[in-house]
Amino acid sequence: MAKARAMPRDLHPGPVADRVAALNARYRHHSATAVLEHSLKDVDLGRVALVSSFGAESVVLLHLVSVIAPETPVLFVDTRMLFQETLDYQRQLAESLPLCDIRTIRANPKKLDFEDPDNTLHQFNTDSCCNLRKVEPLERALAGFDGWITGRKRFQNSERGTLDFFENEGDFRIKVNPLAHWGREDLEEYIVNNRLPRHPLVAKGYPSIGCAPCTSPVKPGEDPRAGRWRGQDKTECGIHFIDGKAVRLPKENAA
């Protein structure tokens, strides 16, 4: 089995942009499993964590990592506003999958009490709420890593339609999207063939699941992420980075 290896940053052979280009060229025609397996031990990538929401499709990537490299750190951001079904599902998968290092990440309690004492920030500033409860805690948790694995896929919405296996994140870290080319049928087949448990909200019309106040069911024919921040000019939680700072990119640049 492949095992994630810690690589000193000064041993990396070039700038992040060059390494991302080399990785995409190297693995362009590989399968998701091969991309995940090889990238976890590739010197161009370094030390990597899996970031998982334990949402609608998360079990596929969690299972793949548990088979290929169970020692890979798994970061789960508990925003304190998740559906109870998500918290229950997270515990279920943590107990059933052979993953060795699952870490629950939360916002600083003092900062949370100061900036959102009554839990209403999401009602008038969703970007600030996401930044406080998700972006900042995740950036803190990722500080010791050279890259991180995401479950993003091209089919999820039009803005992810050109997603590559590897992305340059602010010229200091790499994102890995091993399932970028998978479609709904691939996910379904993998879940069925491996007899994996499903998030209970999927059957209720939630193909993409975030925080409870900002997630609604999706109608037939809509993008899978149409229920996220419905009615707002917002499509992502804000986990994008420029010059080492966590910021939300403009909609036209979001990936």
pLDDT of residue 74: 97
Q: Hey, what amino acid is at 250?
A: P
Question: Is the pLDDT at 10 greater than 70, yes or no?
Answer: no
Most trustworthy range by pLDDT among 69-83, 174-188, 207-221:
69-83
Question: Is the pLDDT at 161 greater than 60, yes or no?
Answer: no
User: Judging by DSSP bridges, how do beta strands 147-149 and 166-169 pair with one another?
Assistant: unpaired
CA 206 to chain centre: 17
Domains of the chain: 9-253 (3.40.50.620)
Name the β-bridge partners of 211.
82
> What Rg do the C-alpha atoms of the chain give, in angstroms?
17
- Termini Cα distance of the chain: 31
Per-residue confidence at 45, pLDDT binned at 50, 70, 90?
Answer: confident
Residue 242: name the closest of 153, 150, 139 by CA: 139
Output 165 or 92, whichever has higher pLDDT.
92
pLDDT tens for each residue of 50-93: 999 999 889 999 999 999 999 999 999 999 999 999 999 999 99
pLDDT tens for each residue of 87-137: 999 999 999 999 999 999 999 999 999 999 999 999 999 999 999 999 999
| Phi and psi at residue 197, to the nearest 5° | -70, 145
pLDDT of residue 252: 36
Choice among 129, 130, 211, 237 that is catalytic: 237
Per-residue confidence at 246, pLDDT binned at 50, 70, 90?
Answer: very low
- Which range is least confidently modeled, 10-14, 31-35, 168-172? 10-14
| This prediction's pTM | 0.83
pLDDT of residue 114: 96
- Cα–Cα distances (Å) from 90 to 54, 76, 128, 163, 225, in that order, read 6, 9, 25, 27, 20
Whether 214 is a known active-site residue: answer no
Cβ neighbours of residue 194 closer than 8 Å, sequence gap 6 or more: 63
Q: Hey, what amino acid is at 119?
A: N
pLDDT of residue 7: 41
| Phi and psi at residue 205, to the nearest 5° | 95, 25
Most trustworthy range by pLDDT among 99-108, 205-214, 242-251:
99-108
